[in-house]
Amino acid sequence: MKKKFFTTVISAFLIFLLGCGKTNSFKEINKRGKILVAVEDNCYPNVFKNPSSSEEEYIGIDIEIINEVAKKLNLTVEFIEEENKSAASIVGTKRADIAVSGIPIDESVKINYLCSIPYDSSCIFSVTKRGISYPTVGSLKGKKVASTNEFAETFRKIVSSTVDISNKDAKKAEEYDKIDDVAENLLNNKIDVFLCYEHHALELIKNKELQAETVSNAPKEKYVFLMHKTNKDLQSLVNETITDMIKDGSLDEIRTKYMDEDLYSNKLIKESS
């Protein structure tokens, strides 16, 4: 999950212009013997740097899938990360072959890039004090709701017609930095519920006085890999690999690997029916 992916008409047009004249066909990829993968760090659990490694090693759900793609194509992988550049923009200018890092699919993405089939999704979770439940969007009405920067836009889209959130509350919701103050504010009743993605929910419920559950009627974000519009051969090969991994269960195994099983087994986080 996940950084929000944003694009504009202007940036997309610039990317198109910069990418013209370059070729990243699968024939070229095969000839060079490696696939260039654009990444963004700190996108747990999709892409992040291994805290146990002294070297710059990327790990995560996306990384394991891409390594499997490369293995099936008999290629090596080179990761590319550029400061203040999204993974998508690097692919758009053909400095990489494929972009990963928990990129949610939306209309602008589909217009400007070739997308893989979805390989993962993220539910929206409500985190509350133990024994208090807000399992649906409607149940949030009239409550003091907060979120993080990465969730704020999604939050407004989902609940703006249902939940009365003041400008002050919306601003406050965006001021949380690494969710450091969220647990304290929930326990002190400064906020009633915190909306977030799974990685933040798992972090918060390490506090045994808190619980989390999915907001059942909120839409899931589906994540895809992005390729340049000219690289349909690579798109087909990536989709074949993802499909095979879904069928043989290896994709589920990878995802489980990056989730904290103890937190799930304690049933502090649950699916709303």
pLDDT at 76 over 80: yes
Q: 47: which strand partners? A: 43
pLDDT classification of 142: cutoffs 50, 70, 90: confident
The kind and range of the H/E element at 38 are strand 34-38
pLDDT classification of 154: cutoffs 50, 70, 90: low
Q: Which two tokens stand for residue 172?
A: 């406050």
CA angle 88, 94, 95 (to 5 degrees): 85
What one-character DSSP code corresponds to residue 43? Answer: B
Q: Looking at the domain that runs over 124-214, which CATH code has it been given?
A: 3.40.190.10
pLDDT for residue 13: 43
To the nearest 10 degrees (0 to 180), the angle between helices 61-72 and 232-248 is 110
pLDDT classification of 32: cutoffs 50, 70, 90: very high
- Architecture of the domain whose range is 9-121+222-259: 3-Layer(aba) Sandwich (3.40)
- Where in the chain are all domains bearing CATH 3.40.190.10? 9-121+222-259, 124-214
What one-character DSSP code corresponds to residue 140? Answer: G
CA distance 217 to 219: 6
Is 196 in contact with 125 (CB distance < 8 Å)?
yes
Q: Give which of 205, 199, 215, 213 is closest to 263, Cα–Cα.
A: 205
pLDDT at 211 over 60: yes
pLDDT for residue 214: 87
pLDDT classification of 163: cutoffs 50, 70, 90: low
Say whether pTM exceeds 0.85: no
- In one-letter notation, the amino acid at residue 266 is N
CB contact set of 36 (below 8 Å; sequence gap of 6+): 24, 29, 78, 80, 95, 96, 97, 98
